[in-house]
Amino acid sequence: MQLLINPVGRPVGDPGSLEALAEVYAYPEQVRDGRPWLRANMVSGLDGAARLDGLSEGLSSSADKRIFGVLRALADVVLVGAETVRAEGYRPARARAEFAAARRAAGQPPAPAIAIVTRSLHLDLTAPLFTEPLVRTVVITTSDSPAERRRAAAEVADVVVAGEGDVDLPAAVRELTGRGWTRQLTEGGPRLLGQVAAAGLLDELCLSLAPLVTVGDAPRIAAGPRLPGAQPMRLASLIEDEGFLFGRYLRAG
C-alpha cells in the first residue's frame, strides 16, 4: 500500500499496517464530546457500478477488506439497509485482538453493533446476526411495520421505532447517538446511502475505487432522487494498492 495523501501530518510507517490505517481513518475529536460523525464506506467500479453479480465482493480486494475491517474496528455502530443484510448475508461484527486495547481505552465494547434499517422486517432472526452478536443487534423500523414481526424481532434484537412510513434517518441517528454511539459507520447499500446524503447526515465517504470497467445496470453507490444541491466533499487521504484507490472524503465547508 502507498499513502499518496497523508492526513496525519507525519510519516505513519508501513501504511498497510493496522496501526497506520487506524491513524489515517481516525474519527474526529468531536466524537469524544458526544457529537456523532457518520462515515460511509462503499466500493465502486471505474464506471460507477456498486455491485458485480449482485454483490460488492466482485469489486473488492484484500486491501479493501483490510480497510473495511479497520473502519469497523474503529466504529461504535454500523448502520446498514436490510437489503444489504439479506444480499450479503450479514454476520455480527467480530472482535479483533489487534484493536482490543484501543477499544477498551475508548470505552467501546469489543465490536460495533449492527443497526439494520427496515420497513418490512423481513430478516432471518435465527441467523448469527441475531443469535451470536457481541453487542445486541439493533433493528430500526417504522411505527406501521408489521406488528407481529416487530414483536418477534424484539425477542432477539433492540427494536427502535423511528418514523411512520419511512424510517426517519435523523431520528435514527439521534437514537444511536443517545446510546453513546458517536462513531458511526454506514455500509450502505445505495438506497440507504442516498437517503443518508439527502438528510444531510453524510460527514464522510470512504470510497474504494476498483480498477474495473463492468458496464451493465448495477446501481451507483448512492441511489434516489437527485440532491437539490450537490454536496461538496474534500479529499483528506488517498491510498493506492494494486491499482485500487482508497479515498477518504470529508464534508467540505
Ligand X SMILES: NC(=O)c1ccc[n+]([C@@H]2O[C@H](COP(=O)([O-])OP(=O)(O)OC[C@H]3O[C@@H](n4cnc5c(N)ncnc54)[C@H](OP(=O)(O)O)[C@@H]3O)[C@@H](O)[C@H]2O)c1
Q: Which residues bind ligand X (CB under 6 A)?
A: 42-43, 50-51, 54-56, 81-84, 87-88, 117-120, 122, 142, 166-167, 187-192, 195, 221, 223
Supply the minimum distance, in Å, between the C-beta of residue 223 and ligand X.
Answer: 6
CB nearer to ligand X: give 30 or 120. 120
Q: Are 70 and 239 in contact (CB under 8 A)?
A: no
CB nearer to ligand X: give 108 or 203. 203
CB nearer to ligand X: give 24 or 52. 52
Nearest residue to ligand X, by Cβ distance, number only: 189
Supply the minimum distance, in Å, between the C-beta of residue 3 and ligand X.
Answer: 22
Supply the minimum distance, in Å, between the C-beta of residue 6 and ligand X.
Answer: 24
The identity of residue 244, as a single letter, is F
Supply the minimum distance, in Å, between the C-beta of residue 182 and ligand X.
Answer: 22
Supply the minimum distance, in Å, between the C-beta of residue 16 and ligand X.
Answer: 21
CB nearer to ligand X: give 103 or 185. 185
CB nearer to ligand X: give 103 or 205. 205
Query: What would the 3-class secondary structure string for the chain be?
Result: CEEEECCCCCCCCCCCCHHHHHHHCCCCHHHHHCCCEEEEEEEEECCCCCCECCECHHHCCHHHHHHHHHHHHHCCEEEEEHHHHHHHCCCCCCCCHHHHHHHHHCCCCCCCEEEEECCCCCCCCCCHHHHCCCCCCEEEECCCCCHHHHHHHHHHCEEEECCCCCCCHHHHHHHHHHCCCCEEEECCCHHHHHHHHHCCCCCEEEEEEECCCCCCCCCCCCCCCCCCCCCCEEEEEEEEECCEEEEEEEECC
Supply the minimum distance, in Å, between the C-beta of residue 52 and ligand X.
Answer: 9
CB nearer to ligand X: give 103 or 193. 193
